[in-house]
Every structure is written in structure tokens, then in C-alpha cells.
Amino acid sequence: MATTSVRDIHRRGLMLVLSSPSGAGKTTISRRLLERDTGIAMSVSVTTRPMRPGETHGVDYYFVSQDEFDRMAAAGELLEYARVFNNCYGTPREMVEAKLSEGRDVLFDIDWQGTQQVAEKAREDLVSIFVLPPSGEELERRLHTRAQDSAEVIAHRMAKASDEISHWAEYDYVIVNTDVEESVASVQAILRAERLKRRRQVGLSGFVRGVQESLR
Ligand code: 5GP
């Protein structure tokens, strides 16, 4: 039966992936986006890497042993997983599926390997954004001023950055992060348009039929 109520149009949640080389500003963009948009939940990954100063278990990551990570991967508890900088990272499946079915959107800070796996499993629900630094020099400067990591780790990250950047063309959108506020506004504009995609508006055809019936 057709409905004439606009309240019967629901939205199917989407998976918003932000990827970038370390230091391009992705974490700041994500944080501001989450503060401003309550319709979006952050996916908290599991990782085997050691906790950095200022990080909190269950907020930044779930910090787990290699054995626990391997168990979760083998049990199918991870939506995607990859090895990055000699550590393992993965997305717990359960929270993501629960949020999506509630019509909430989920934000992921994952690398290109994880993005490819999500694309293989759920292309229709995926919206991917690659964040580029304004220049290589600026990326290097940001990695140094962050000072959370040892010089050796920074050097390793610089080498990895060009590898990560080589995957830019696999993403739906690309943002050059010259100004953080501008970048957050761009992500919000992308989200707004993607939420309005016809296939994400469940119940729309019933609503339209109702409108047509009332015109007869
Ligand atoms: P960091 O150690 O600096 O927090 O993260 C290093 C890299 O791992 C970043 O590029 C980040 O996007 C990626 N990463 C974090 N969590 C996940 C995850 O669950 N899956 C994948 N594939 N990559 C992740």
C-alpha cells in the first residue's frame, strides 16, 4: 500500500571512509566532523600496535595482542583487516552492522587496503574520500611537529606516504587539505549529497506512489 507520509522515508546508513598518508590531517577532520554531525558514529578499530601517549583504549583503538587479533580475524569478527607499518589493524564487524541497520552512518579511518576490502563487500554502502596534504614538504613538517613517534618511525612513515598516495585514484572523492575548516565543510557537503542518493532513501517509491494517487 502506498503511503503519503514523508515520515515513512527512512535512510539506509552509509560507510564513509577517510584515507590519507599519516600527517595529512585526517584525524582532525574526523574529530570535527563527529562533533558537528550526530548522525555519524566512528568505527573504533582493533590494533596490535602499542598505545601512544594520550590514546585511550576503546576510544582511539581497541589495543589487542597478536593472538587476540588472529583469533578475531579467523572467527570472521573483522569486516576488513590489514598490516600497516608492521602492525595489524582491523574493523570489528558487529558495531558497524548495528549502526547501519539503525540508519546511522559510520566513519572509518582506514588505509587503502581496508578500503578495497570494504568496496568488495559493500560497494553500494561505501563513500570513500582520500585526503591529500598540500605538499610533500608540508606533510614532512606535520609528521615532525606531531612528535609522538620516534625519528625512525617518522622516516618509515615518510617512505610509506608515497605508497599510500599512489592509491588516490581508487577513491570517490579527493580533498587537498590546505585549510582544515574548508576540508570539514567539503566532507559535510559530500555527506549531505550522498545521504540524498535515491537508493539510500528507503520507502521513497511508496511515498511517490502515494503522492501520485492523491493527484488522481
Ligand atoms: P596509526 O597507527 O597512525 O593510528 O594508523 C596507521 C594507519 O593505519 C592509518 O593509515 C590508518 O588509516 C590505518 N588504520 C587504522 N585502523 C585501521 C583499520 O581498522 N583497518 C585498516 N585497513 N587500516 C587501519
User: pLDDT tens-digit profile of 163-179?
Assistant: 999 999 999 999 999 99
DSSP type of residue 179: S
The Å distance, Cα 125 to ligand 1 centre, comes to: 20
160 pLDDT more than 90: no
pLDDT of residue 9: 77
Instruction: Quickly state the pLDDT bin for 147 (edges 50, 70, 90).
Output: low
The Å distance, Cα 84 to ligand 1 centre, comes to: 7
**Cα 112-114-119 angle, rounded to 5 deg:** 90
Nearest residue by C-alpha to atom 12 in ligand 1:
110
Answer yes or no: CATH 2.40.50.140 is held by domain 6-43+103-214. no
- CA-based nearest residue to 107, from 20, 12, 11, 14: 14
| Helix-helix angle 151-165:136-146, to 10 degrees | 150
Instruction: Quickly state the pLDDT bin for 209 (edges 50, 70, 90).
Output: very high
Ordered by start, the domain boundaries in the chain are 6-43+103-214
| Helix-helix angle 180-195:26-36, to 10 degrees | 60
Nearest residue by C-alpha to atom 11 in ligand 1:
110
Instruction: Quickly state the pLDDT bin for 146 (edges 50, 70, 90).
Output: low
**Stated pTM of the model:** 0.91
Tell me which residues have their CB closer than 6 angstroms to ligand 1. Answer: 22, 45, 49, 80, 82, 84, 89-91, 109-111, 113-114
Query: What is the atom index within ligand 1 of the atom nearest the CA of 114?
Result: 22
Nearest residue by C-alpha to atom 15 in ligand 1:
110
